[in-house]
């Protein structure tokens, strides 16, 4: 039986909007209906070329991010790139990685406020509090860029392209615990008792007995 070997190269361009996290791509060869010969792929190869933006780089949309997402000319001021500035007031599209990482869905517009936090590189030592926000449309803002003043100088080791901007809401739904957490033990649960600020003396002196009684009566569980 004669064997015909054919080499064929083709290019296919994928748009970023066509791709999702954990997508997988395959090369499939099919023969036409009624064909009697057998087809097989010999050492198929798929490679990525001309990736834009390059892996790990911020999006260079119309050269609006020549220095990344944030510039740090003044150590206590973050200057947003033109790309970030143009997205001021908009809501970011859902990010699968954020949800799987444990963050709440993004519901608020990109309008930083005083008191918000910005963290770089998932490093707790690189958490900064925003003290001042200069909006792009501020009449005194001659550059028209978004500026954030933070509580202290930015570390020279901080990767300002790897960041998360978040806000602690005082809506009564959540409690923020000021406790030491070991990053390597993320699955360990914290236990404790939360009592009112002005708890009665009886409650403070008998909190353990009260909790034990509530457990024994199946009113609360561990």
- End position of a domain, from candidates 132, 150, 166: 166
In a domain, 30, yes or no: no
**Residues 160, 218 within the same domain:** no
Query: What residues pair up with 80 in beta bridges, in sequence order?
Result: 70
Length of the chain: 222
Q: Count of domains in the chain? A: 2
The answer as to whether 77 is a domain residue is yes
Query: How many other CB atoms are there within 10 angstroms of residue 135's CB atom?
Result: 16
Beta bridge partners of 128: 118
Residue 16 lies in a domain: no
How high is the pLDDT of residue 178?
66
Does 151 share its domain with 217?
no
Q: Do 73 and 156 share a structural domain?
A: yes
Q: Output the pLDDT for position 108.
A: 84
Pair 211, 124 in one domain: no
Handedness of CA 69, 87, 17, 102 (dihedral sign): positive
Q: What is the pLDDT, as a whole number, of residue 131?
A: 94
Flag whether 179 is in a domain: no
Q: How far is CA 163 from the centre of its chain?
A: 7
Question: Which residues of the chain, if any, have pLDDT below 70?
Answer: 1-10, 14-22, 27-67, 94-103, 176-191, 222
> Roughly how many angstroms between the first and final C-alpha of the chain, as a whole number?
73
Please tell me the distance from the alpha carbon of residue 207 to that of residue 204, in angstroms, as a whole number: 6
Query: Could you tell me if residue 15 is inside a domain?
Result: no
H or E, element range at 101: helix 96-101
- Is the same domain home to 65 and 155? yes
Q: Which domain holds residue 87?
A: 61-166
The reply to whether 41 falls in a domain is: no
Residue 214 CB contacts under 8 Å (≥ 6 apart), including other chains = 220
Q: What is the model's pLDDT at position 36?
A: 61
pLDDT at 138: 93
Q: Are residues 97 and 145 in the same domain?
A: yes
**Half-sphere exposure at residue 85, Cβ-oriented, CA atoms within 13 angstroms:** 23
By the 10 Å C-beta count (0-12 exposed, 13-18 middle, 19+ buried), 10 is classed as exposed
């Amino acid at each position: 039986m004669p064997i015909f070997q054919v080499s064929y190269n083709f290019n296919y361009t994928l748009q970023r909007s066509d791709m999702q996290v954990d997508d997988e791509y395959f090369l499939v060869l099919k023969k036409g209906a009624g064909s009697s010969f057998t087809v097989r792929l010999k050492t198929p190869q798929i490679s990525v070329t001309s990736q834009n933006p390059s892996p790990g780089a911020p999006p260079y949309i119309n050269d609006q991010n020549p220095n990344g997402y944030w510039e740090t000319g003044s150590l206590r001021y973050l200057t947003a790139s033109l790309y970030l500035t143009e997205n001021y007031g908009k809501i970011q599209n859902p990010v699968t990685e954020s949800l799987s990482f444990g963050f709440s869905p993004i519901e608020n517009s990109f309008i930083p406020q005083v008191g918000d936090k910005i963290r770089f590189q998932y490093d707790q030592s690189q958490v900064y509090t925003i003290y001042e926000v200069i909006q792009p449309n501020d009449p005194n803002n001659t550059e028209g860029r978004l500026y954030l003043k933070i509580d202290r100088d930015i570390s020279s080791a901080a990767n300002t392209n790897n960041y998360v901007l978040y806000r602690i809401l005082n809506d009564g739904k959540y409690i923020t615990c000021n406790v030491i957490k070991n990053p390597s033990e993320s699955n360990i649960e914290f236990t404790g008792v939360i009592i009112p600020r002005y708890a009665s003396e009886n409650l403070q002196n008998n909190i353990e007995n009260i909790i034990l009684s509530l457990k024994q009566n199946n009113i609360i569980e561990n």
